[in-house]
Amino acid sequence: MGMELILGLLGGLALFLYGMQMMSTNLEAVAGNRMKQILERLTANRFLGVLVGAGITALIQSSSATTVMTVGFVNSGLMSLRQAVWIIMGANVGTTITGQLIALDIGALAPLIAFAGVVLIVFVKNKKAQHVGGIIAGIGVLFIGMGMMSDAMVPLRESQTFVDMVTKFSNPILGILVGAVFTAVIQSSSASVGILQALAMGGVINLHSAVFVLFGQNIGTCITAVLASVGTSRNAKRTTLIHLMFNMIGTAIFVTLCLFLPFTDWMVSLAPNDPVSQIANVHTIFNLTTTILLLPFGSLLEKLAIRILPDSQAPVKDADSWFEGLMASKHHLGVSTIAINQIHEEIEAMLETARINVTESFHVLENGLGDGGIEEIAEREEDIDLTNVRLSQKISKILVLDQTPKDIEALNQMYTILGNIERIGDHAMNLAEYAETIKEKNLKFSEYAGKEFRTMEESCAEGMRLLKAAAAGSSDFKLSQVADIEQKIDDITKAFRQNQIDRMRAGNCNVECSILYSEMLTDYERIGDHMLNIAEAYDAIEWSGERSQIGAAATA
């Protein structure tokens, strides 16, 4: 009997947790991208922020996923700390939907619900329909697991040892500790509340014993955000702290109500014969009341978080390590938005490095090598190459996740941009090496060639300036302007090749200088081609003009 009980509990728990994960994952796939787009364009309005946070969490059935996404947005600068306060409050309200769903007495229909979902998964080829099937099947499996757990727990009512142990949960400190630790381990308050409801369904625990465990579960759910904030910016850590403070303040308020007022008796009277609904109702009232009470004090929570975690000069763990940790987590909602923003910023820096190398390469051609030779140009070129590899790998990892067509297009265009910047860096390096060859062989170029070097430098600098505006999402950027520069470079190349031929005929240019100059013109022309490729890629990215709006919202 003992082994049957244990197997029933483990089997029921496995089905319950799998059903929860199945439902959450597929909900995230169906609604997640649209929800993150709403979230990334969020204004600083507190009421809208709470509603959006609650709505997203209710849809994806995971406050942890919403909070992790919020931490990521704050870390990448897409959202301000003030905005994060409202999202977190809303997420705590939205997470109560799962408990209310479990309180619905549809256990008898659970096998039919699971079957309907599996039919969609197996027999329908449409990807979206399969995700919907996953949601339906997850709900069915969840309730089957609930039924198995509650049935297995029925005999425990006769075990005095177990009853005595559960009764001890009515001790506030012990109950809160048990709830917090258990939820921290499974990293889901929705799941831990559901397991508590299964205990109540089996008649093993009543609300008087469960209420403090329930409060602790709200604290334990913060562990996911805490883990997600490791290695992030100061503001991202403050976001996690606000999440923790919200639940600790709520717990303090409701523990006081339970100790000095008949709060638990009031909640029992709302659903006298339904302990599962009693737990769901307390969970909902806890988060809803705490949100209403703290909503006027959101700015104070922000200031308190800043006071507790002041600005630090300590180095932050690099963004790649943090990104790898986020990719390894089970919460991918918003990861693509966060990663696209970070990659975009690094591409801007890479483009600036390439611009510097192009300018410096023409300088050494015009003025000769200084004391340092071309070492600095070579170091920057190596940095460009390494950045290209690193960001290309990051893009490939992001593309594995479910993406909107807009995100896929943006990532593909960014990959194109990376390759073209890397090629511009190569051509700049070639120009610098020509200067080295000129010095080693003591070659002399005519005064006319020197003037042509300056003309080439100016046209490249103009094109790179336009690309900088494109990368910044400036409304002044026009693809036609870069196309004009590219055509200008082609025309200059053609004219300078003819000038070179004329100088050779006149005997003003030796063969070795002529060969080198021809190669320089080829690199110069290729730089123009790659600049146009980059401009076309930026022009194809829909969000390139929206980024400044997002940044403005984040600083509001």
- Tens-of-pLDDT digits for all 556 residues of the chain? 467 777 877 888 788 778 877 876 776 666 655 655 666 555 557 788 888 888 878 776 677 777 877 887 787 677 788 888 888 899 889 888 877 877 776 667 888 889 999 999 998 888 888 888 988 898 888 778 877 877 777 776 666 676 677 677 788 898 899 888 888 887 777 778 888 888 888 777 888 888 999 999 889 888 877 877 776 778 888 988 999 999 999 999 999 999 889 999 999 998 888 888 999 999 999 999 999 999 898 889 999 999 998 876 554 445 566 566 556 555 555 666 677 777 888 999 999 999 999 999 998 888 877 656 688 999 999 999 999 998 998 888 877 765 667 778 888 999 999 999 999 999 999 999 988 888 888 887 777 777 888 999 999 999 999 999 998 888 778 899 999 999 999 999 999 889 888 877 777 777 788 888 899 999 999 999 999 999 999 998 865 334 433 344 443 3
Roughly what angle, to the nearest 10 degrees, separates helices 335-367 and 2-40? 50
How far is Cα 137 from Cα 223, in angstroms, rounded to an integer? 28
**6, 82, 10, 2: which is closest to 42 by C-alpha?**
82
Q: Which amino acid is at 311?
A: D
Q: Which amino acid is at 24?
A: S
How far is Cα 464 from Cα 428, in angstroms, rounded to an integer? 13
**462, 519, 453: which is closest to 487 by C-alpha?**
462
Q: How many helices (H) and strands (E) does the chain have?
A: 24, 0
DSSP 8-state code for residue 159: -
